[in-house]
Amino acid sequence: MRTLLSVVTGPPTILLTTALVVVLCFWLLVAAGVTSAGSFDADANLRAWGMGGVPVAVAVSMLTAVAWALSVGGVLLVAVFAPPGAVTGLSRLVLPVAALPVAWRLTCLFVRPLHRLFPDEPGPPAHGRARDHADHAA
């Protein structure tokens, strides 16, 4: 338990832990009816990032949770199984940063099937579907 608390509150994972706390507070406000899940939709368009079709809050929340889980999991594995040393210390700093692009790809995969639950949101880019229709027309 001490190792987990050390990882969650240690640098640089503390940045993702803070972001996760902000996400949890936002969803508590949504549950209380103070705000709505679509409150950021006019501010950002996530289609270019491959996360279109769901509200921005859902996509960013999922990205934050996945990045936090990957970061904490990776650093915990290093902390428990790797011998202490310079390489271990460096990997504890690099893993949270490396978790972000992996979390982004996983979030893109996770939100794709969710777009059916949000019919008011613009769907994912149709570049693949347009090509398929052009192939069938030829």
Structure tokens at 87: 């390489």
Residue-wise DSSP of 96-124: HHHHHHHHHHHHHHHHTGGGGG-TTS--S
Where on the phi/psi map is residue 33: left (φ > 0), alpha (ψ -120 to 50), or beta? left
Other Cβ atoms closer than 10 A to 135:
8
The better pLDDT of the pair 17, 114 is held by: 17
Confidence of residue 125 (pLDDT cuts 50, 70, 90): low
pTM of the model: 0.76
Distance CA 86, CA 93 (A): 11
Distance CA 90, CA 82 (A): 12
The better pLDDT of the pair 78, 123 is held by: 78
- Measured in whole angstroms, the distance separating CA 60 from the mean position of its chain's CA atoms is 6
pLDDT confidence of residue 43: 67
pLDDT per residue over 31-66, tens digit each?
A: 999 988 777 776 677 777 778 778 888 889 999 999
